Each structure stands twice: as C-alpha cells, then as structure tokens.
Structure 1
C-alpha cells in the first residue's frame, strides 16, 4: 500500500496519470492548431541502452503532457558514437545540424564531448551535457545537469572530516580521477602531518591488468585503514573481492566510494561483512518520484513490446539525468514561446540559430526539482550548482541512508544519536575483544597462584575492573593478552615502525589496549584514544621525610640555649632591682587599711614575689594587677617592657621560620629544584612518554635534565615504572627521584 501511494504521488507530480495520457493522445483533435515537430538528438555509446531508453521515455512523457509544450511535438533522434573517434563525431554532428535540430544531448565520453560542445557553441545550438565535467571555462551554449565537480569534491571532504580521518589512501584509475579529486588533495585541515605519516597517499590502480592484489597487499602492510576509492562502477566489486582475498577487508577498514552509481551494485556477501563502506548518491531509489518514473518506463516498454527488467536500485544516475534534462529543456521551450522551429545549419557557413542562446539562458535561470532532486545552475559556466546528495552506508539489508549533504547546509544527519548507539551496541554484542596490556600496579598485576590459572583469571587490577564494567554494559566478551615486548609504544625514527601496545593495535593483533599509557601526539596520530580515565602531567616521585618524634622541649629550639640563660638572668635581675627600688621609694608603700587615715604601719606592694610575678607577666605579654608608682620603678618597668617586646617578636618570627624549615627540609617541588642541586639523582623509564619528552624537548631546562640523566653513573634509566618506584624507596638518604 505504501509503495502504491508513493507511485501515485510521483504520477501526480509529473502529470502522467492514465487520464492525462489518454487526453494527450487525442489532443490533436482538441486543438485547431497543428503541432510543430521539434527534433532533438541524443548521442549515446552502443552500451548505453538504459540512457537511450530514458531519453526516449522522457520525450514521450513530455509529448503526453499538454501543460509543458502544448504546440510542440518533440521528435527524438538517437545516434551512436564511439568513445574516442572525435573526427567522425564532428562530421556526424555537422550532418545532423544540416538536417535541423533544436538541441543535442550527450555524449558522455571525454574523447568526444569536447568537439560536440565546440560545434554547438559555434552554431549556437543548445548542448545538454550529462557527465562529470572538470572544465571551469565559461560556457557558451551548454548546460550540465551533472553535479559540479568542485562541489562534489567539497562533499567528499566534508564526509572525510566528519569521519575524523587523520590519514587515508586514495585509489584512482586514470588521469581524470586525479583532476576530479584535486580539491580533495588540497584540503589538509585536520589531517596528521606528523613525521613519518603523510596526511594521505595516492596509489594508481593497474590500468592494463585486472589483478589488484599486489597493490592491495601493500596497503594492508602499510596498516592503512581508510581508503577513498575512485574507479568505474563496474570495477568496484572486483577490487573489493580481491581486497578480501588479501585479508584487507574487515571491521577496521573504512572505504568511501566516490561513484554516484554505487547503489546499483549488488554487494553480495559484503553486506554481512564488517567493513565500513560509505558512498554518496544523488537519488533515493525508494523516493516517490523515482518509483513513479520507473512505473512510466515499465508502461512505455510494455506499450512498445520491449523487455523491461529494471528495478529502482538499477537506475543509473546518467539515465535519470537524461530524463530530467529532456523535461527541463521542454520547460525552457514553453517559457521562451514564439516560433522555435529549428533551421538547417552548415558548420562552414557561419550561420547560427537565433534562439539557441536564449533557450540555454532560460534553462540556466530555472530552479527545477526533478527525479535527481533540486537543481540550479551557474549562469557563467552552466554547471549545476545546487543538488542534494544522500550519505549511505552498506548494511545487511543494502545501503542505508544516514544523512544528506547540499552546498548550502553541508552535512545533515538523519540518523539520531540513539540509532547510532543502537547500531554500535548491536555490532559488538557477544563479540570477543582481544585486550592488550602490560603488567604494572595498580592497573594490572598477577593474581596469587596465577601459574595455575588460565585466561583472564590470571590478572587483576584497575584495568581488569574497567574493561569488565564496560563489557557488562555493552554485552561483549574480552580476553587479556600481555604485550610481548613489554613496551608502551614508541615510534622508531629509523625504521618508522611502532613497538609495544601501539604496534599490537596497528597490526590488528589486538582490538583494545589499556594500561597507564600516556596520550601523546605521535600515539594519537597512530591510533584512536578514548577520553582518558586519568589526567596527569609529568610528576616527580620522591621519598618523604621520615617522621621524627616530637621533643617535649622543642619550643626552646627557636632560640639558642645561651639566649634562654640570658633571658632567665635578666628576668631575675629585673625582679630584684624592682624589689630594691620599691623598698627604697616611699611611693611604693601603701596603707593596708584605706579606711584608717592615720595607719601605724605601711605595706610594700612590690614585694619579692609580686616583682617576680610582674616580670613574668610582662614577659608573656599578659600583665598583672600591680603597677609601679615611683618614677624609678616605672623607668625600670618600661625598660623591661621594651626588652620583652623585642624578645617576643623575635621568638615568634624564629618559631615560624623553624616550623617552616622543618617542613621544607630537603623538599623537591619542581624540575628546577632537581637541576639546582647535586645530592639527589633523578631518572625516568626507558622508551616511555616521559623519556621521549625529555629526549626531544627543545627547552633548555629539560635538555639539561636529559643530559644529566644520560651522563649519570650508574644509570638512572629504569626498565619499568615498578623498578623506578622500588629505587626511590630503597635509595639511601632519599638520593633518587623518579619522573
């Protein structure tokens, strides 16, 4: 029911219902004016039967539609040409022009299109081109319905960027492919330009040999996992089959096919393969307009008693462009109006057709939506400057649409994030992942009695816990394998080869790698990383000070012992001096009974004990209730207060410095601290990211650190992080630090 609904929509859109057809057949009886014959020529190669049928069907459909050109009857004339015989092509085109033609459609070969276009320009006869044209010169009497080559390249660039490819290999067949892809080659943004890794490589497919295996083996050996394939549609399956034979195909290989007819291929077993195959197409085979057009062709073939076995996925882009071109030309004739009868032209007379340029200009200024989607054209070049591409991925059920691209809006994905997540989960459910790692606490270590165990039971640690949690969430299986050379992964400057975990991943011996692996620029260029589960810079591992027992009299440490003795002597001396002066001064004797105005005895308030209390109170800045009254005692007290002010301030400052000194004793806070001393040696793990950082750094400080580590005896370079940790712990007098 849905299929019939879409067919009906298409029929209504093009005015091709059976009622319209019946009326069109009898329109000669309904109009008093006779129809004018208007000859148009289709130039095809012998093998282009589908394009030829599309041309004839389009003319028939236009003639049936009374609203398009009511007083003109298009007469199709089909001619066959060789791909490269330009001389005979020019002679035949001139013969056709002498018979009087209103437009020439095609041909689609590079060898003959140029001469046809040149003749049409000179004679001002509309030429409708339907091929991938790389020419940028201003057009005369020509219009091209094929998408503009530069815009197609931009679409390809957008897909490559969106896939986050850092490098890729381009497989091309001939010189024309290089010209078509030149805009792709110019775009380097987002690609890896690291040493030893060019952003892309360009490899030519053998021209005279159908054996592509040697080339495909080289690509597999190079470890390339991204390929842009630009070749004729009929060679795609041969290349993919041979790639599968050399073990290049697989879930880690991504291929972008540039052919807009990729949807017409039966990919067979590759639909169930894990290889990521992406393509672009100009038409949706399941759209109502395409299905309606297919229905019209079936009707036309049945009416002419011709066999017809095409399906929607068999429709080639050139065929549908031919169909659109005829209808667009008919609409331009209708808009132009007037007497448009073609006239015989002689290629050598210099005479031109007066309506040719105006018809082409009408076509260039039209915005039309046909079977191949919306279109608009450049007035200068005649190229198609607006079109809508579909981004498709190969799945078990065939190509699946995941998004669209057009020159105005770029990529617009129709697949939701939820659908993408669901597809990913479905693809990895119950799959066994090989996880490469290396022993290193606390990330991965052996369990007790690991010699008696097998598989994942031999290991434990954070890495195991993390992978296990992810596996339970996504439903896959995993198996840990230790890297044989026990290395993280370093790029050799001489061989340009990786070792360690990175090599395991690049050579597809492992699916994942997890451990305390630092993300560096070179590693990021070679493999993909998840978001890091821990973010660190380069830290210095250094043994802490041993904790000392607290001394009961440690508060005396800020001042020297003789200072304390001097202070005690001064305290006793001042107390005795105050006592003596108080006894000698009458002002320090007071009435013990204030109510008795004439006491017989007076009391000395500053006795010896009170003098001692006054002096100690002043020393601790607490004071007391007794204050001197005599001038002599006040002078002594003032001198003592000034002395205690200086001493207390000095003690406080020395105490703070003493405490800070204890905390800072032999501490290393930065790389500068290590360089500016010679008691503590420092080292790093061999071939680790920190090792490479110091070795390749241009900073003077880090160069000095590297020189010091290289010249140290015995060597300060360790084989593993565990060895470095043990060396820090066992170093005498905290004499070793580890990066």
Structure 2
C-alpha cells in the first residue's frame, strides 16, 4: 500500500511539474528550444515503446531539472518501415526543421544513407536499436546507444563450446538484422572449429505453410542445435509451428539472439508456452529502485511489459538533454547553403554550427540511467555484460552471465585474475526442451541419408588384423579384427554421429577382388569413402588417398605368454633341484646311516640299545655329519680301539666316494 501511494504521488508531482514547465515555456521565461528529430517505425514494437519512453523521459527529466534553460523539443516522423520514407523524413528534418540532433533509425539499410546525411550536416545521430555490425561507423556523428552484435556473437559461441556441440544450424530472416549478424556469427563459430552445415533463411513475409515446410526439412537432418535470429512477429510463428510438429522436445536445442530475448516479456503466453527450454541472451540490466518505480508507472499507463529498447530510449533523452544544456542555444545555429534546391536535393542541407560541440558534450556525459551505467566511448555504449536466460513456465530464468574478460560465470563479482572459461559447470541448472535435465547430444541418427562406405581388404593370413567371414546359410558377412576395432572406437569418439558400413573388397564367390593397390584406387573412383585394414603407406597409394598416422609397427615379431611363477618364500632353496634328485639324496643319506650302523653296532655302544634307538641312530648320524660333523668325529676319536677309528674312517671314505661318484 505504501509503494502504491509513493507511485501515485510521483505521478502527481510529474504532472504538476509538466504543467509549470509548460507555462514557463509558453511565456518565454528565457527557456530556449533545442530541436531534436525522431524517425521511428511506429508500426513496430521497438518504435512504439521507444517513443512512449522518450516522452516520459522528457517529462521526468525537466521535472527534476526545472532550472535548465535549454529544453529538448522532439519532432516525430513515422517511417512506417519504409526505407525511402525514412530517408526523406531525415532530409525534411534537417532542411526545414533544422534539428540539432537525430534519434531513431531502426534499419541498417537506411542507416548508411542517414549517417552520410548527418555527417554532412554535422548533426549527431543516436540509435538505441541499431546492433548490426554492418552499420558503418566511419562518421564520428553516429552514436550507438546499444551494444553491437559482436558481444552476443561471442557469447553464443561460448555457449556452444561449453556443451561441446560441434555443429549448429542458423535460422534467420532475410532482413537487415538477420543478414547483418549471420556472417559474423558463422566466422566466430568456425574459429572455434564449430561447423555450420546449413543456413535456413526464412522470408519476413513467409506463410505458416512455408515455415512448416522448412522446419520439416530441418527435422530430417541429424543436427539438433538451432540458433534463431529473427523479429518477434516471425519468431513467434516459428516457435508455435516448431512446437506443434514436435521440434521443441527432448533432444533439441534452441538458442535465440537478443532480438527475441529482449521482447520475451511482450510476447503472448501461447508463444512462451511453445518456447519452453529455449536458451536466450540479452544485455544485463542491474535492478534499481528507479527502474522498479518506472516499470510500475509504465505498466499502469500502457498495460504492457517494458523492454530494453524503451529503457535505452529513455536514457538517450536524458543524455541528450544534459549535453544540450552544456552547449546551450546560439543565434546562428546553421550555416545557409550556397544554392537553393528542392526538398530531395541533399546539397541544400545546412550545416549545424553546434554539431562538434554537442558531439563532445554527449561523449563526456556519464550517468546511471534506468538501463545501467550510460556512457559512450568512441560512439559505442559501454555495458558489455550479457545475461543468459532459460525460458521456463510463464517467463525466463537466469542461468548465468557472459563477461568479455571472464567468459561464462554464475556470478558477476569475480576476481580480476579469474581466467576466461567456457565450462558447462559455470551454468545454473537448465531445463531443456521436453522438461529434460540431460544435456542434449546435439545430433541424432537420421531416419534417412547416405552411409559412409568403408572398404575392407579380403586376404588369407593375419586374421587378427582384419578378418572377413561369410555365413553360407544367411549370406551375411562378419568383419572383425584389430583394425576394425580401432576404426569403431574412433567413430564412437566423434562428437557427432556418422553412419557407416563395412564393404568387403571381394568377388561374388568370396575371393579377393584385387591387391591393396587396387583397393586404395577405389577411393579415387569413389566406390569407397574410406579404407580400413593393414594397408602399407606407399608413394603410389598416396597419390589416390590420404593416410592416417600408422598405429602399428611393420616387420615380423613373436608374442609369447609371460608367466611369473616365482615365489618369494623360505623354501626357495628347493627350486634348483628336482623332486627325483631330492628323493635320491634322501635315500643315500639313509643308506649311509645304515652302513655305518652295520659297521659300528658290534663294537660301539652308541649304536646299541632298543630297536627304536638304533633306527633313530641310522637317521641321525648322516644328518649330524652335515650340521655338526665335528661332534661325530670326536666321538670316534674317543673310542678305545684303534680298529674302531680305522673302521669308521674307512666307512666314511667309502660313503664319500659313493656320493662323489653319483
């Protein structure tokens, strides 16, 4: 309720100030008129909204600045969308009204001529809707109160890069705007290796049937990424028909330029419903209290939404009013021409004496308007940040920004050292056509079209590289092998779909149709589009085909299975000898113990006792000679009989000879 009271009070104050200002002007009061010509197409949305905003800006500005001694006087001319009428209106304003500035001019086809007229008369021309890069900027008297298309061209390219789409189709009308931006858009895309295989040009006077026929043609192609640049009237019909035939559904991608995005709020709800999931870009406007109040006033007065063209028209009037106050009025504003002629003779156009001074004052004017920071550098408006939107529900939702220095970002407040990036992660959540949250691939398998014919050699031997087998029952051919697997992986890695089929180079009976030289020559005759197989690169074959880099080495080699069966454990010492040798060694140990027991048992008490003790001695004695042989020798030396020693020594030497002989 408080906000409504403030708005009503603001309107009342504005009307009262206009009344007082009108009385001051009508009674003289030392106020000078500064004549400004306005040429607009009042049949267009931009023209109507722009003119209404200029009238409101004129009233608001002089309400706030009632002490200004120079006041703008606007002279409107309706071009009705006709180029010739627009040019004649400019000549009339320069010759008869002697305007000191011009505002408007919506078409690039008429701007070149008008710019020359303004340059000749030294009259600044300000356009708040001319975005085309084709508009000449050779004259310092042409001022663009909007960004040119170079910013949105780079922003669209960054979006395509972020989602790694490699092919797009551009749909545009054959107007000055469409024909102006398309070449620059194609160049920007191709610089990033993004192909434009098809351009769809739709006439501004196309019927619904003609639009439907063109969309059916696009539907039969494999590409599913479309960039649309056209007027709001034609664009509305395009999306209504596209949604009707199922092209605004899952798998499709639609990106619209600012020509459509800037006018989304003024479109019918049925059109918005047919554009669900569409991505769009438009200049970013920072929200402010002044913008909020003005938007409410606008809706109450005109019962329609406001667009950025109206805001810039509003700020253009403020800029021109401040510059006019600095320049003031002089007695001799125009120099008379030397000769008199008819209305259409441009030699009779007078030269403004305040033009250079006014141009300098405009370039030095800087303020915060409804559309943001409003100032010019080299005749261009400086506010290049673009907003990326997603059409959802009844309106649009912000999903990111494009900043010239940093690329795509979720936020505007970035550190100065932030690198330029086009990452998909820098977008907020996107709802794609068909209410899908999955990023579309950008292509589909076409329902019809030519397949890539890939020739394959047929030969005996080395089937691991290429193997061609024919099933005698089904008459189908199975093609496998290392080279085939490599080719399939390469084709699967492509960011777009390519239909292909393998065609064996063989006769009807299954035999080979020729050598590799003849196979490669089939590329020259266009029988095959490519050849896959173990084909050596030679100078002769290079005359008919381009070869990939070799991915296998030539020559003969052998492949064997490598088995590492080594076990790093305590029993590794058992590995050098075989099982039979270990059993033989154990048997001789037992034999040695038995022989010693036979010789020592009659005379040596150590070799007597119970049967188990004597058996244990047979096993223990040969083992003791390895571990602690000196103990056994000492026992023998301590014997009371020399014969015992000799007998033991003889037995030991006998056993040793047997082991050495083995």
- Shorter chain as denominator, the TM-score bin is 0.5 to 0.7
Counterpart in the other structure of 2:316? 325
Cα 1:216–1:318 change in 2 (3 A) is: same
Counterpart in the other structure of 1:44? 40
Supply the distance in 1 between the matched residues of 2:357 and 2:197 (Cα, whole angstroms). Answer: 46
The CA deviation at 1:41 is: 0.9
2:286, 2:372 within 8 Å by CA — same for their partners in 1? Answer: no
The CA deviation at 1:40 is: 1.0
Matches within 5 A, 1:25-64: 34-47=30-43, 48-64=47-63
1:132, 1:149 within 8 Å by CA — same for their partners in 2? Answer: yes
Q: Secondary structure at the match of 1:248?
A: coil
Counterpart in the other structure of 1:144? 144
Cα 1:640–1:364 change in 2 (3 A) is: farther
Give the TM-score normalised by the residue count of structure 1.
0.54
Q: Give CA deviations for 1:143-195 in whole Å, capped at 9, x if unaligned.
A: 101212101212323344445545432111127424414443234599897xx
Q: Secondary structure at the match of 1:52?
A: helix
Counterpart in the other structure of 2:269? 268
Counterpart in the other structure of 1:465? none
1:171, 1:228 within 8 Å by CA — same for their partners in 2? Answer: yes
Bigger drift between 233-242 and 269-278 goes to: 269-278
Find out whether 1:172 has 2:172 as its counterpart: yes
The CA deviation at 1:112 is: 1.9
2:35, 2:73 within 8 Å by CA — same for their partners in 1? Answer: yes
Counterpart in the other structure of 2:279? 278
Q: Give CA deviations for 1:534-577 in whole Å, capped at 9, x if unaligned.
A: xxxxxxxxxxx9xxxxxxxxx99974466346524653576589
Counterpart in the other structure of 2:550? none
Q: Secondary structure at the match of 1:140?
A: coil
2:39, 2:90 within 8 Å by CA — same for their partners in 1? Answer: no
Cα 1:181–1:340 change in 2 (3 A) is: farther
Cα 1:50–1:428 change in 2 (3 A) is: closer
Supply the distance in 2 between the matched residues of 1:345 and 1:639 (Cα, whole angstroms). Answer: 146
Counterpart in the other structure of 1:391? 388
Cα 1:397–1:525 change in 2 (3 A) is: same
Matches within 5 A, 1:306-385: 309-311=302-304, 313=305, 315-335=306-326, 342-344=333-335, 346=337, 348=347, 352-379=351-378, 382-385=379-382
Supply the distance in 2 between the matched residues of 1:640 and 1:492 (Cα, whole angstroms). Answer: 94
Cα 1:20–1:391 change in 2 (3 A) is: farther
Cα 1:274–1:339 change in 2 (3 A) is: closer
Matches within 5 A, 1:200-219: 201-206=198-203, 209-210=206-207, 211-219=210-218
Q: 1:121 aligns with which of 112, 119, 122?
A: 119
1:251, 1:275 within 8 Å by CA — same for their partners in 2? Answer: no
1:106, 1:113 within 8 Å by CA — same for their partners in 2? Answer: no
Cα 1:190–1:581 change in 2 (3 A) is: farther
Counterpart in the other structure of 1:563? 581
1:217, 1:248 within 8 Å by CA — same for their partners in 2? Answer: no
Bigger drift between 282-291 and 57-66 goes to: 282-291
Supply the distance in 2 between the matched residues of 1:206 and 1:582 (Cα, whole angstroms). Answer: 125
Q: Greater RCO between the two (CA within 8 Å, min separation 6)? A: 2
Counterpart in the other structure of 2:102? 104
Cα 1:295–1:115 change in 2 (3 A) is: same
The CA deviation at 1:42 is: 0.8
Cα 1:138–1:637 change in 2 (3 A) is: farther
Q: Secondary structure at the match of 1:222?
A: coil
Matches within 5 A, 1:391-470: 391-408=388-405, 410-413=407-410
1:6, 1:288 within 8 Å by CA — same for their partners in 2? Answer: no
The CA deviation at 1:27 is: 5.9
Cα 1:123–1:492 change in 2 (3 A) is: closer
Supply the distance in 2 between the matched residues of 1:383 and 1:639 (Cα, whole angstroms). Answer: 116
Matches within 5 A, 1:724-735: none
2:153, 2:188 within 8 Å by CA — same for their partners in 1? Answer: no
Gaps of 5+ in 1: 300-307, 434-488, 498-517, 528-544, 546-554, 584-588, 593-606, 648-739
Supply the distance in 2 between the matched residues of 1:79 and 1:344 (Cα, whole angstroms). Answer: 24
Aligned-residue CA RMSD in angstroms? 5.4
Counterpart in the other structure of 2:231? 232
The CA deviation at 1:353 is: 3.7
Q: 1:522 aligns with which of 487, 492, 498?
A: 492
The CA deviation at 1:8 is: 8.3
2:227, 2:254 within 8 Å by CA — same for their partners in 1? Answer: yes
Cα 1:494–1:388 change in 2 (3 A) is: closer
Q: Give CA deviations for 1:120-143 in whole Å, capped at 9, x if unaligned.
A: 223322111221231464441221
Cα 1:340–1:105 change in 2 (3 A) is: farther
Q: Give CA deviations for 1:588-643 in whole Å, capped at 9, x if unaligned.
A: x99x9xxxxxxxxxxxxxx9976852432566xx65782535799999999999x9
